[in-house]
Amino acid sequence: MVSPIDIRNQLDTFLLSAQKPGRYVGGEFGQVIKNWKKIDTHFAMVFPDLYDIGVPNLGVTILYDLINSRSDALCERAYLPWLDMELKMKEYGIPLYSLESFHPLSDFDIIGFTIPYETLYTNVLNALSLAGIPLHSSERTELHPLIIAGGHSAFNPEPMSDFIDVFVIGEGEEIIHELLDAYAQWRKSGANRLELLERLQQISGIYVPSLYNVTYNADYSIRSVLPISENFPKHINKRFVAKLPDPPSRFLVPSIDVVHNRIAMEIMRGCTRGCRFCHAGIVNRPVRERSVDQIVNAIDKALTNTGYEEIALLSLSSSDYTHLSELVDALTTKYANRNVNVTLPSLRIESFSIQVMEKLRSSRQGGFTLAPEAASDSMRNRINKPISQEMLISTTNAIYQSGWSSIKLYFMVGQPDETLEDVQAIIDLSKAVLQEGRKLIGKKASLHAGISTFVPKPHTPFQWAPLDPLPSVLLKQNMLKDQLCGPGLRMTWSNPRETILEAALSRGDRRLGAVIEAAWRRGAKFDAWQDQFNFNAWMDAFDEVGISHEFYTFREHSLSEVFPWDHISTGVNRRFLENEYQKSKSGELTADCRNNCYSCGILPTYKDLRRANPGNSWLCPEVKI
């Protein structure tokens, strides 16, 4: 076994030949180093991408803080090495190690992966392999760490179920403690690994895939997903915190530049708008807000703890935060002369957003970003994101007039039943916005259209919808590329082949485990990096395993079909989603649910929790006794 000291010393002999060696040595201000020998449970938190991307992750920040606040556990971190470093590590026989104590990952009791998106799956396999840990859950014994995973992609855990022992569904703040307690008790009992998995499955929100059995129909679709014993629940209800705890105020300050160098302050969770393509909008229900005091206090502490000069106020839809004006006023008064920059993404298309942004920034550097997603009224109705043309133009005009010369608009192509007229509307709208801007501020006005491609996601009203076929997406992208050009106009788009992969993995089932492994063996990793994405490796992997990705991508799923994730419950019921899907087809809107409850299912599922937490802490109605 390699010791931490060996690893540290070895690193010094070759790190200078790696790109950005600072990624691989930790040493951040605020990192927690505990006495390894005096701690019972050693937890390694892995964000399966590069250090630069992983360090700013808020989920890791929260769990790192919570686990390290326990006296019986420690939490250290690891990220994936870049390709050059991976080669060096293999050459020198260095396994994946933690940045705090340089212990090999295989020395830890529990390894937790946070997997926010599907294109990290091959990196998870790569991490296990670099750590020298058997890839498959079935090959691991009491001698190996317990491998757990959570994050948004865990709402459909099935594609990774060969590799992960235990999934945590939903928010981690409470369940992490229950999991660590259960682990510690199991360790004391000396029982075997199966016993551990069975005990963990008793915790609400935990899913152990090996304790569930999948059967299939002759047409390849799923017949059932059922627990192997009556002791385990048929449905796994996600966990969430009934009342948002104080936000973290301890953030790591890295010694090198990473993608976001800032305090990430989550002001609310969830969104009441109900856009039909949006995964986050469903899985994060109910909507819960933090108080202005809670936020300002945490920011105060975080500024003192970190010295950061930027704060990002995060949520799915900042404009919907009830006390936004009050919060922005409090922050601007407090930090007026302290060289603190406050950013506020996810603003709605309305003049209020501009007033807020004007208060936050004295200088107008950077652009102003809005996400209309669709440009024609019919498409807006179908996706349930209504905004009138007049409102949009008057907002963008006001933005240009307020001193921002550059506006970025996000649109999506490939949404269900999209026509070429809907695509043409994106072109016309973008040109109209820029033309108006040029009338107001002249040639310095510019517009950037960011065009993504729709991916049907589990647990959303569009979970039944087909992915737009490749030729259709290419046609639409070419149409946009031909016309969204010229002075002041810029367009970026997503690689439609990456979209196919994302779509296949999003709605995948257990049988994709073999494909993920085959793709990884063929060299696929860092799939989320455009320059690393290897479509051929993936297509060859599908061929090798004998599965067609089209079963998961281009096919409209029937309303009676059993989904691979049907046993994982977000609290929002399938009937509600189906109704939304039907309403989408007829172009019918569903209004903001903070004004009127549409019975999505959250309240019946979590009625006891709501009863125990009455009042404004949720934006759902009260539950009658």
Partner 1 sequence: MIRVRLLYTKGESLKYTGHLDLHRVWERSIRRAGLPLAYSQGFHPQPRIQQACPLPLGFTSVSEMIDLWLTDDLPLENIQNSLIPAVHTGIEINQINLVPLSAPPLQTIVCASDYLAVFTAGKMRGNIETQIQGMLSMTEILRERRGKSYDLRLLIQQLKSITNPKAGIFMRLSALPGATGRPEEVLDCLGVELNTVQIARIGLIFSDQV
List of residues contacting partner 1 (CB under 8 A): 12-16, 21-22, 24-29, 31, 253, 255-257, 261, 303-309, 339, 363, 365
Question: Tokens at residue 524, please?
Answer: 């696929």
Q: How far is CA 467 from CA 30, 201, 219, 548, 625, in A?
A: 44, 34, 20, 14, 43
Reduce the DSSP state of residue 506 to 3 states and report it.
helix
Is the CB of 16 or the CB of 218 nearer to partner 1?
16
Which residue is it, tokens 């309303």? Answer: 559
Question: Tokens at residue 98, please?
Answer: 């933690």
Q: Spell out the alpha helix ranges (H) of 460-560.
A: 470-483, 496-506, 512-521, 535-545
In angstroms, give the least distance from the CB of 329 to partner 1: 22
CB 350 within 8 A of CB 399: no
In angstroms, give the least distance from the CB of 363 to partner 1: 5
In angstroms, give the least distance from the CB of 447 to partner 1: 22
Strands 268-269 and 206-207: unpaired
Phi/psi at 259 (5° precision): -60, -40
Q: How far is CA 95 from CA 2, 31, 63, 79, 465, in A?
A: 8, 21, 24, 12, 43
In angstroms, give the least distance from the CB of 260 to partner 1: 13
Is the CB of 303 or the CB of 344 nearer to partner 1?
303
3-state helix, strand, coil in the chain (%, to 5): 45, 15, 40
Report how far apart the first and last C-alpha atoms of the chain are (Å, whole number). 60
In angstroms, give the least distance from the CB of 364 to partner 1: 9
In angstroms, give the least distance from the CB of 45 to partner 1: 19
Alpha-carbon gap, residue 48 to 164, rounded angstroms:
14
Nearest Cα to Cα of residue 256 among 55, 38, 486: 55
In angstroms, give the least distance from the CB of 74 to partner 1: 17
Is the CB of 252 or the CB of 562 nearer to partner 1?
252
Is the CB of 33 or the CB of 612 nearer to partner 1?
33
CB 41 within 8 A of CB 109: yes
Is the CB of 309 or the CB of 561 nearer to partner 1?
309
In angstroms, give the least distance from the CB of 52 to partner 1: 12
Is the CB of 305 or the CB of 394 nearer to partner 1?
305
Alpha-carbon gap, residue 520 to 187, rounded angstroms:
33
Is the CB of 364 or the CB of 557 nearer to partner 1?
364
Q: Spell out the alpha helix ranges (H) of 324-388.
A: 324-335, 351-360, 377-383
> Cα–chain-centroid distance for residue 516?
19
Is the CB of 305 or the CB of 351 nearer to partner 1?
305
Alpha-carbon gap, residue 427 to 431, rounded angstroms:
6
Is the CB of 30 or the CB of 132 nearer to partner 1?
30
In angstroms, give the least distance from the CB of 303 to partner 1: 8
Alpha-carbon gap, residue 310 to 325, rounded angstroms:
19
Question: Tokens at residue 40, please?
Answer: 């019972």
Nearest Cα to Cα of residue 289 among 606, 613, 617, 603: 617
Is the CB of 14 or the CB of 535 nearer to partner 1?
14
Is the CB of 308 or the CB of 411 nearer to partner 1?
308
Q: Spell out the alpha helix ranges (H) of 351-460.
A: 351-360, 377-383, 389-401, 420-441
In angstroms, give the least distance from the CB of 333 to partner 1: 19
69 secondary structure, DSSP code: T
Is the CB of 13 or the CB of 189 nearer to partner 1?
13
Q: In what order do the strands lie in the sheet with 489-493?
A: 368-373, 406-413, 446-453, 489-493
In angstroms, give the least distance from the CB of 293 to partner 1: 22
For helices 175-189 and 193-201, the axis angle rounded to 10 degrees is 150
In angstroms, give the least distance from the CB of 84 to partner 1: 14
Strands 212-216 and 222-227: antiparallel
Is the CB of 79 or the CB of 606 nearer to partner 1?
79
In angstroms, give the least distance from the CB of 530 to partner 1: 25
Is the CB of 87 or the CB of 474 nearer to partner 1?
87
Nearest Cα to Cα of residue 517 among 242, 164, 112: 164
Complete DSSP assignment for 394-420? HHHHHHHHTT--EEEEEEEE--TT--H
In angstroms, give the least distance from the CB of 21 to partner 1: 4
